[in-house]
Structure 1
């Protein structure tokens, strides 16, 4: 048993059939892009000093931790569900470069924000890429594309057994009615997640963003 994780019993797991099927595919991943509402973040949170970048990382973390399938990883025939998933975000650096940060998720926003800010600042000053070379599975990959209001996105993947989900968000756009939104792309391994779980992720992430309406 891996520390901080429980092993899934494939004999009783309701998705064992899907797991066994989609693991045989050459391209077992699927990506979904949808718009989320960031009006509360931009009109209430940001004027109050909230970083939209860090708030979005937190919202993705909330979405991941609300959906057990997004905390599952597999190694061969062994499936583990981790208690907590770290958020590996791309952090810009000088020279059109970036580094990977590893940010622990805390439900409490103030605690998360302080930790996230310190880790991002440290990563921005570093020189090592910090790429995960396969030693960690208790992570989710995050990237921000603030220059593009994209309608779809696909990620580079090392192979069909890579089961770490990817989350990307794009440019914040204001509509004529004053509402703000942005695209969010979610890429998952079909052996572990279906459209239902992706929908649950969007619901939880949206709820996290909406709470800034009280700022």
Structure 2
């Protein structure tokens, strides 16, 4: 929390506003994981999700949260993301974290299958305590649209401390690269545009490392 202490005045400034959220949408340039995923029998969505969440854990500013009026820093994540069920309604998939890529993908795929087969909203969310819920990052994929902006909902307008991440329809970039619309929303008391830039760079680095490790 030493780093946060240095920006406490920035936090106080933005936290006193009606909405302290910062939201940026931009084209994210990444190494194209699709050939590697195909060769290894892994779904690109879950590999990208793993790279994104690993990156979140490595950029400290995305780990700050607020609970009972106090700022603390999480040391783990509860992976969760949106899915579409058989009625084309939104639902939430949630699973236990694993540092092993293939275990992460297997758990994420099973959670996606389970949530997509539920007609009611996934009730597992209601079992989390308010503090446990802070160990999430809200993740959604909108693969049909190359969006240029997005507004994420927040439970409390004045407390958007849980980051929200979204990406959309991808397209080919330079040889060996992928471009996709990407959005990051976070509490401006914790995160500036520079930290979103750091996150984007770290996601690309995590994905490159996954591909290189084989």
**Short-chain TM bin:** 0.7 to 0.9
State the distance in 1 between where 2:160 and 2:107 align. Answer: 28
2:136 aligns with 139
Q: 2:189 aligns with which of 172, 188, 191?
A: 191
Q: How does 1:59-98 map to 2 (within 5 A)?
A: 59-98=51-90
Gaps of 5+ in 2: none
1:208 aligns with 206
Q: 2:162 aligns with which of 153, 161, 164?
A: 164
Check 1:36–1:47 CA distance in 2 against 1; reply closer, same or farther (3 A cut).
farther
Indicate conservation of the 8 Å contact 2:160/2:186, yes or no.
no
Q: 1:51 aligns with which of 43, 54, 69?
A: 43
User: How high is the TM-score relative to the length of structure 1?
Assistant: 0.85
State the distance in 2 between where 1:202 and 1:192 align. Answer: 16
Give the match's secondary structure for 1:153.
Answer: coil
Check 1:100–1:66 CA distance in 2 against 1; reply closer, same or farther (3 A cut).
same
1:180 aligns with 178
Higher helix share: 2
Indicate conservation of the 8 Å contact 1:40/1:212, yes or no.
no
Q: Deviations over 1:2-59 (max 9, x none)?
A: xxxxxx479x811110111111111210111222334431233234322111112112
User: How high is the TM-score relative to the length of structure 2?
Assistant: 0.85
- In the TM superposition, residue 166 of structure 1 has moved relative to its aligned partner by 0.2
Q: Deviations over 1:65-92 (max 9, x none)?
A: 1112211111353111111011220011
1:4 aligns with none
4+ residue segments displaced more than 6 Å: none
- In the TM superposition, residue 213 of structure 1 has moved relative to its aligned partner by 3.9
Structure 1 stretch displaced more, 154-163 or 15-24? 154-163
Check 1:128–1:110 CA distance in 2 against 1; reply closer, same or farther (3 A cut).
same
- In the TM superposition, residue 177 of structure 1 has moved relative to its aligned partner by 5.2
Gaps of 5+ in 1: 1-7
Structure 1 stretch displaced more, 110-119 or 205-214? 205-214
State the distance in 1 between where 2:43 and 2:30 align. Answer: 12
Indicate conservation of the 8 Å contact 1:44/1:212, yes or no.
no
State the distance in 1 between where 2:80 and 2:154 align. Answer: 15
2:27 aligns with 35
Q: How does 1:120-135 map to 2 (within 5 A)?
A: 120-130=112-122, 132=125, 135=130
Aligned length: 207
